[in-house]
Amino acid sequence: MAEFLFPNDTALVTGMNSYYISLKRLIEHYQGEVGCGCVYFRSTSGEALLFFDEKKIMDSVFSDGNGRSTGMAAAELLKASMVVQKYRVSVYGIDANALNYWISLIHAIPMAKPVTLGFDKLLDVLDKENESRPDIGYFRIKGDKKRQLGWVFFQNKRIYGFRLPGDRAPWLGPEDLPDFMERFKGSSKIEVLLGEVESKIEFQSQTAESNKALGLLEELIQHTESIVQGMKGSKKDFQILFRRMCIKWADIYDFLDPFAAELSYKDQALFFESNTGNRELIEGVTRVLFEIIKEADAEKKYHFVFKEWQEKHSEYLSNLEVRFPE
């Protein structure tokens, strides 16, 4: 299972009850106070992590019994979960220069099983010049004695630093390798689990793959427009409806903000120019369409149209791991 990793040495506040907070106001407050950081959520059934800079949520990850999501979809799932589930909430500051590194670890893929080593072999694994490591990733190291747990982070194959468990555990730099090793003395079996960011995370551009996403969304929007315009007594302009619902969801999906001019629908054609990935694009637009249908009271009729569209493109949507509204 992928881990939720962040620098825990700069805790700004810990142990808040999510029932008493507004997520939007909480992030806005700490954007003004520290600029960059993360908010960590944990409950008995779910876990989430949101990274922010001084302007917006940069990335997020959410995990519960139904699976794991990243991006703005994760933020939406968290907001929905907070209505029915109480979380323990903590906020941590992050240096602006380190923010992208920690965000990249959201996408780290852990090995299926840890490797078991003796203490004498651990130093070889942590050798600063070890060229066998991936460019970006981490080791989760666990000894067989109480509290023998820690994480080793690396960047460009070199040690980036060490993290220890606890809300306010000190961050250790590469020069603190001897101190980190000292924690595992006396352990005869040490489990080492590698988490690897396979390649540098890059924004998706308007490639043929993106055009495919636009095409299938355009198809669904046209079906939606036809249903809404065919409703008895309907006099509303669909483009205006679409724009209004985009504004409603723009707090979660930045690209839906009409003032950003990244996405628009006109004359049955969808236009999109953004660095947003295809999964977020599809999830954001379908949520807009569901809101339009709900307002038009056409959910029963739309159900069959949507299911037919979903089945038609099931392989593509499944590969993207798209999550649709309930």
Give me the mean pLDDT over the 296-321 stretch.
Answer: 90
pLDDT of residue 201: 44
DSSP 83-128: HH---EEEEEE--GGGHHHHHHGGG-EE-SSPEEE-HHHHHHHH-T
Q: Is 58 exposed, middle or buried (0-12, 13-18, 19+ CB in 10 A)?
A: middle
- Nearest 5°: CA angle at 22, between 323 and 61? 35
Sheet holding 67-70, edge to edge: 11-17, 88-93, 37-42, 46-52, 57-64, 67-70
List Cβ neighbours of 253 (8 Å cut-off, separation of 6 or more).
72, 276, 280, 283, 284, 287
**pLDDT at 34 (0 to 100):** 94
Tens of pLDDT, residues 54-104: 988 888 999 988 888 888 778 888 888 898 999 999 999 999 999 999 999
Dig out the tokens for 11 from the structure.
């805790």
State residue 72's pLDDT score.
73
| 4-25 average pLDDT score | 90
When mean pLDDT is compared across 129-133, 281-285, 308-312, the lowest value belongs to: 129-133
Helix ranges (DSSP H) in the chain: 23-33, 72-84, 99-104, 119-126, 177-182, 208-229, 238-249, 278-295, 299-312, 314-320
pLDDT at 223: 93
CA 289/CA 286 separation, integer angstroms: 5
Which of 286, 255, 323, 319 lies closest to 63, judged by CA?
A: 323
- Return the higher-pLDDT residue of 129 and 74: 74
Q: Tell whether the model's pLDDT for residue 200 goes beyond 70.
A: no
Of 151, 171, 173, the closest CA to residue 10 belongs to 171
- pLDDT of residue 1 exceeding 80: no
pTM above 0.85, yes or no: no
Residue ranges covered by each domain of the chain: 11-107, 109-197, 208-320
The CA distance from 32 to 91, in Å, is 13
**Which 8-state DSSP code applies to residue 231?**
S
Top mean pLDDT of 35-39, 74-78, 111-115, 176-180 is at: 35-39
What residues contact 188, with CB distance under 8 A and at least 6 apart?
Answer: 118, 119, 144
Determine the Cα–Cα distance for residues 128 and 7; give it in Å rounded to an integer. Answer: 20
Mean pLDDT of 296-312: 92
pLDDT at 286: 94
| pLDDT(326) > 70 | no
Of 203 and 162, the structure prediction assigns the larger pLDDT to 162
- Scored b (16 or more CB within 10 A) or e, 124-157 reads ebbeeeeeebbebbbbbbbbeeeebbbbbbbbee
- Amino acid present at 317: L
